[in-house]
Amino acid sequence: MKQDFFDRVYKIVAKIPKGKVTTYGLIAESCGIKSAARTVGWALNGASSSNLPCHRVVNRFGALTGKVHFGDPKLMEDLLRSEGIIFDKDDCVEMKKHLWIPPKVLSNKTKKKK
């Protein structure tokens, strides 16, 4: 099924540790496609009905771009705050402290030496 890509995204998102956040680009990269961050968003679009912690997925700015798709934007912030995520004045997550990078990406980067 075409959901193969979705399945990868789901696995990555499901692996996000509590109190951590990741970006669409990293997820896409961990899936093997670094430029398909948009598609990752689509996957999460369907994930909104799943048990996946899509609220831990943010854009590269650390902003909760998809908060509206949760049904309650402030709920997303509340969830992240409950997990120990810190927001700065720009409504962006403290990437420096909470950014989680999928191990697969680390290995891939190390190998490619880009």
Residues with a catalytic annotation lie at 54
Contacts with 50 (C-beta within 8 Å, 6 or more apart), sequence order: 10
Q: Which is nearer to DNA, 16 or 36 (CB)?
A: 36
Q: Which is nearer to DNA, 19 or 70 (CB)?
A: 70
Q: Which residues bind DNA (CB under 7 A)?
A: 2-6, 23-25, 28, 33-42, 44-45, 47-48, 54, 57, 59-61, 65-66, 69-70
CB 98 within 8 A of CB 85: yes
Measure the CA–CA gap between 13 and 102, rounded to whole angstroms. 9
